[in-house]
Amino acid sequence: MIRQVDYFDKAGKDNTQRCIEIVGALVDEGFKHVVVATTGGRTGMVFAKGLQGKEVNLVAVTHNMGFGKPNEDECSPEARRELEALGVKVFTGTILTRSIERSLMEKHKGIYPAYIVAETLRLFGQGIKVIVEIVMEACDAGLIPEGADVIAVAGTGRGADTVAIVRAHPSNRFLDLRIKQILAKPSEF
């Protein structure tokens, strides 16, 4: 199999449109599940509109409640309603490589396994780390099937700059998850 890989000169939202084109072509090939990272809902909406009319299970994964500020949801109720009206399943939950260990690190110092995993994945770029997290989170929530090859999309900061095909598994089977193909990522990050 031969596939084109897009390497972007820089990370960030300027690559979103090309990522939508890549994902659209993959859906046309027969991929049925797309998982997109979205903080406030904007990236999820752009992908929902870009994939309109295609047979796809689109899941948007947001940050957990309180990620930025206590008791705050970065994805507003309006954005959530708009996503759902576009047929998007929205998941808000704990970022798996952050969770309880982050709080232990801040209080007691030191380093913990989930943080080591996150930092190792970041060697490939922020988007690859996020892709691994959101696929497990969506699988944990039952929004994508375990064992399916899914398209995952994430970015650095805002928008999208990373696309990969991932064999989905829930977090309790993290070591079974496979990043099968990387189709786009920034070369500078």
What are the chain's domains?
Answer: 6-186 (3.40.1380.20)
Residue 179, CA atoms < 13 Å, CB-side half-sphere: 18
* Beta strand ranges found along the chain (DSSP E): 6-8, 33-37, 57-62, 89-92, 149-154, 162-167, 178-186
pLDDT of residue 137: 95
Cα(131)–Cα(136) distance, integer angstroms: 9
Q: Percent helix, strand, coil in the chain (nearest 5)?
A: 40, 20, 40
Whether the predicted model's global pTM rises above the 0.85 cut: yes
The H or E element spanning position 81 is helix 77-85
CB of 57 within 8 A of CB of 173?
Answer: no
With a cut of 90, say whether residue 76 has pLDDT above it.
no
Band of the pLDDT at 88, cuts 50, 70, 90?
Answer: very high
Render pLDDT for 128-181 as a digit per residue (tens, 0 to 9). 999 999 999 999 999 999 999 999 999 998 999 999 999 999 999 999 999 999
pLDDT of residue 110: 79
Render pLDDT for 62-73 as a digit per residue (tens, 0 to 9). 987 767 788 877
